[in-house]
Amino acid sequence: MIRAMIVDDDALVRLGLTDLLEVDRDIEVAAQAADGLQAIDQAMAHRIDVALVDVRMPRMDGITATARLRALPHAPKVITLTTFDLDEYVYNALAAGADGFLLKDTDPAEILRAVHLVAAGSAMLHPAAARRLIDRYHASTRPRATAARARLDRLTPRERDVLSLLARGDTNAEIATRLAMRESTVKAHVSRILTALDVTNRVQAALLARDAG
């Protein structure tokens, strides 16, 4: 059972997402919050696996809340929600540790899929919005690119192959197929990549690869 939390200052959005998630027998909405401060309290009171967090909220916004949630002892995975596919705050949320983002008008089936993927350790980004967002707000400067390349030098050639496909958005199963290896081997490579690059999740690893060109 995946224990989810919905964080949004709009009560109707919280209600709608709750109804959607609870259609899936493998998802339980264990908590709701109207802002980031409530989200921290709820995450500490309830063991949460995946939090769906709005970007713009009063008192504590979704970016700050994401960083705080990811710093908890039992940190939930975070999917950032936004109305704006070119909102720079979404990139900031990813940099703060979110495992992905979705637009609020994403197809309901894709939202359910995202919760399952993120709970399993993968990332989920809205494809078109992710490309435009990263292109616009994550253009590599020379110092950043140099630093990123230095960190990628820590990887073996095979790990760089895995990172290249991971950065493209492939799942572990897709990477295993493309590189002719077992999925368990891919998972082991991904774990070593995150440790070597000193990042917390696949999204941050992909952004670092993007910086390195």
Q: Which pTM was predicted?
A: 0.68
- In this predicted model, what pLDDT tens digit does every residue of 190-211 receive, in sequence order? 999 999 998 888 888 888 888 7
- In this predicted model, what pLDDT tens digit does every residue of 174-193 receive, in sequence order? 999 999 999 999 999 999 99
Distances (CA, A) of 147 to 159, 174, 205: 18, 29, 13
Lowest-confidence segment of 6-10, 140-144, 170-174 by average pLDDT = 140-144
Average pLDDT over residues 53-69: 91
Lowest-confidence segment of 88-92, 103-107, 144-148, 161-165 by average pLDDT = 88-92
Reduced DSSP (H G I as helix, E B as strand, rest coil) percent helix, strand, coil of the chain, to 5: 55, 15, 30
Q: Are strands 100-103 and 77-82 parallel, antiparallel or unpaired?
A: parallel
Provide the pLDDT for residue 40. Answer: 96
Q: Average model confidence (pLDDT) for the chain?
A: 86
Could you tell me the end-to-end alpha-carbon distance of the chain, in angstroms, rounded to an integer? 39
Distances (CA, A) of 35 to 14, 39, 129, 152, 193: 11, 6, 24, 37, 34
